[in-house]
């Protein structure tokens, strides 16, 4: 292992690069399986206020993942208002040998969340509970996500869509 032919600064740099490359290989391999997303990325939650007493909750379910319809729940915390009768959209029906008829969601799920009282002009926190699985053969425990919404005053238009976990900016797109 002779490096006598290289001038000193270059040699030091080469050694450093070698060590870094080796470390990079090790660390790179140690990263978690990129095929399995954390629940907040597999089931991206976002919401907006449609008017002073109606919210709209959305789940963007990644390809290869699904949510259970009967495990979905919404409430405000702190409880600025009760969630009124909720009508969840119909899901895809699967016959489960243990639970019988089970409905699941894939792709984009949009749920209207009516409130029992007006929250116009207030800042509220909408909490969404959901539970889903990956086709790869794993299920996630019930998962809670939250968004803070500035609800427009009565008579004003819908508020902007707010992501619970904003997508990270990527370098190349």
Write out the H or E segment, with its range, that includes residue 65.
Answer: strand 65-68
Q: From 17-25, 75-83, 108-116, 162-170, give the range in contact with other proteins by CB under 8 A.
A: 17-25
User: Does position 144 bind other proteins by CB under 8 A?
Assistant: no
**Closest distance to other proteins from the beta carbon of 97 (Å):** 8
Q: From 77-85, 116-124, 130-138, 148-156, give the range in contact with other proteins by CB under 8 A.
A: 130-138
For residue 164, give every residue at least 6 positions away whose Cβ sits within 8 Å of its Cβ, in sequence order, or none: 40, 44, 45, 46, 47, 128, 145, 146, 147
* Terminal-to-terminal C-alpha distance of the chain: 43
Q: Is 132 helix (H, G, I), strand (E, B) or coil?
A: strand
Q: Of residues 127, 133, 144, 165, which one binds other proteins by CB under 8 A? A: 133
**Closest distance to other proteins from the beta carbon of 102 (Å):** 9
**60 to 9, 99, 163, 164: CA distances (angstroms):** 52, 25, 10, 11
**CA–CA separation, 157 vs 160, rounded Å?**
10
The interface with other proteins within residues 70-129 (CB under 8 A) comprises: 71, 96-99
User: Does position 63 bind other proteins by CB under 8 A?
Assistant: no
Residue ranges that bind other proteins, judged by CB under 8 A: 1, 3, 11-12, 15, 18-19, 22-30, 32-33, 35-36, 38-39, 68, 71, 96-99, 131, 133-134, 136-141
């Amino acid at each position: 292992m002779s490096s006598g032919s290289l001038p000193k600064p270059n040699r030091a740099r080469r050694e450093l690069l070698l060590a870094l490359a080796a470390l990079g290989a090790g660390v790179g391999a140690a990263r978690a399986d990129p095929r399995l997303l954390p629940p907040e990325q597999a089931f991206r939650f976002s919401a907006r206020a449609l008017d002073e007493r109606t919210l709209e909750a959305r789940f963007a379910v990644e390809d290869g993942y699904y949510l259970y319809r009967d495990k979905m729940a919404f409430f405000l915390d702190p409880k600025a208002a009760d969630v009124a009768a909720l009508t969840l959209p119909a899901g895809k029906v699967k016959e489960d040998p243990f639970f019988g008829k089970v409905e699941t969601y894939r792709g984009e799920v949009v749920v209207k969340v009516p409130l029992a009282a007006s929250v116009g002009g207030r800042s509220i926190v909408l909490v969404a509970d959901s539970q889903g699985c990956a086709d790869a053969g794993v299920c996630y425990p019930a998962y809670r996500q939250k968004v803070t919404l500035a609800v427009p005053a009565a008579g004003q238009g819908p508020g902007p869509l707010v992501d619970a976990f904003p997508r990270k900016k990527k370098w190349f797109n």
